[in-house]
Amino acid sequence: MGPSIWCKQRSQCDSHDSWERPHMKRFLAAAFGAIALTGAAFTQDEAQITPAQSNVVYGMVSGAAMLMDVYTPIGERNGFGVIVVPGSGWYRPEIYSAPQLKDLTNYHYVRNVVKALNEEGFTAFVINHRSSPGNRFPAAVNDTRRAVRYVRFAAEAYGIDPDHIATLGHSSGANLATMAALMDDEPGDGLDAIDQTSAAVQATVGIATPFMLAGDPEEASAYAAQTIAMYTGRPFFGMDNHYQASPPTAVAASPAAYADAGDPPLYMIDSMDDPIVPVSQGDYMLTVLNETGARYEHVRTEGGEHNPAFDMAAMAAWLEDVLGE
């Protein structure tokens, strides 16, 4: 293993055959702090937007409502829907006063992305999902897929095309958005009509994405290892361990483990100076995508750290082109 590229300080990190790829060990050493994987202040002008519909119930889990906010286009609709997953480190405090994940009031970065989507005619669905420590993988992935099913099921009511839906996320939310896109489309566990609706999407956007959660424990900070362990619910052993014959849960929770040529197109954005999700995560995913022949567009920036400063209009144009195919 080469030099460590794990986040070393809290201030910096606040059953598949495909996981045994020949280049796996080159880019595994990366992990992500639970609390710091949230939206930091955005340097551009803060967008002022409000949802057209708030607290829409997209599913119920053991009596608890899974909620989303709906942001409608500014002007003409293009008929495309995007499920948006904000970052959180897969974590939310288990207290009544904790802000909802979908609340973009202080999440300026994702709020600007949603505004850019609305300006280009997209309808955006910003979701809550179950989080650690109370809920482990794959709960948040299942919730993201349930949100896709709901939006497809209710597409007519929202004025969107059910056959042209995308996911988009930032940080841990990008992990979930791309997981939902790259996993095989299977019926949900529930018996209702929504859960029997397809969770397939036709495009996905990942911003500062943790693509591979496994790594070398000797190079991981205790904080980073704790974050992954809290999300997966398993001790963090990394790839080089005696459980290697049975892939660790951290690999199963990694979008890179599911990539293949049949996946929807991926628009991936990363930053050279990201102190939380190292650029090696993008490098590793590029290796996987090129090996599998998957379709992607890659944008690498510098200067935005964990909130990459990218051309949002160009991203929206790419989404519209791909969804319009």
Task: Write out the E strands in the chain.
Answer: 53-61, 64-71, 81-85, 123-127, 165-170, 203-207, 266-271, 296-301
Contact between 312 and 116 under an 8 Å Cβ cutoff? The reply is yes
Is CATH 3.30.70.260 correct for 10-323? no
pLDDT at 47: 66
Judged against a pLDDT cut of 50, whether residue 93 lies above it is answered with yes
What is the mean pLDDT of the segment spanning 29-40?
Answer: 36
Sheet holding 203-207, edge to edge: 53-61, 64-71, 123-127, 81-85, 165-170, 203-207, 266-271, 296-301
C-alpha triplet 304, 168, 114: angle, nearest 5°? 70
Q: What does the pLDDT look like over 203-252, one tens digit per residue?
A: 999 999 999 888 665 555 566 677 778 899 887 765 555 555 445 788 89
**Residues written for the chain:** 325
Cα–Cα distance for residue pair 255/320, rounded to 1 Å: 23
Q: At which residue do the structure tokens 């990190």 appear?
A: 13
CA-to-CA separations, 318 to 30, 121, 137, 245, 287, in angstroms, rounded: 29, 13, 31, 40, 22
The identity of residue 215, as a single letter, is G
Chain centroid, CA 119 distance in Å: 22
Q: In the beta sheet, which residues pair with residue 168?
A: 84, 205
pLDDT score for 28: 38
Digit-coded pLDDT (tens) for 11-24: 333 332 333 333 33
3-state class (DSSP) for residue 67: strand
Helix axes 139-153, 172-182, angle to 10 degrees: 60
| pLDDT higher than threshold 70 for residue 285 | yes
| Coil, helix or strand at residue 104 | coil
- Predicted pLDDT at 136: 95
CA–CA dist 134, 123 (Å, integer): 31
The domain spans of the chain are 10-323
Q: Could you tell me if 320 and 116 are in contact, meaning their C-beta atoms sit under 8 angstroms apart?
A: no
% of the chain with per-residue pLDDT over 90: 67
**pLDDT tens-digit map of 169-197:** 999 999 999 999 999 888 777 789 999 99
| Chain centroid to CA 298 | 16
* pTM metric for this prediction: 0.86
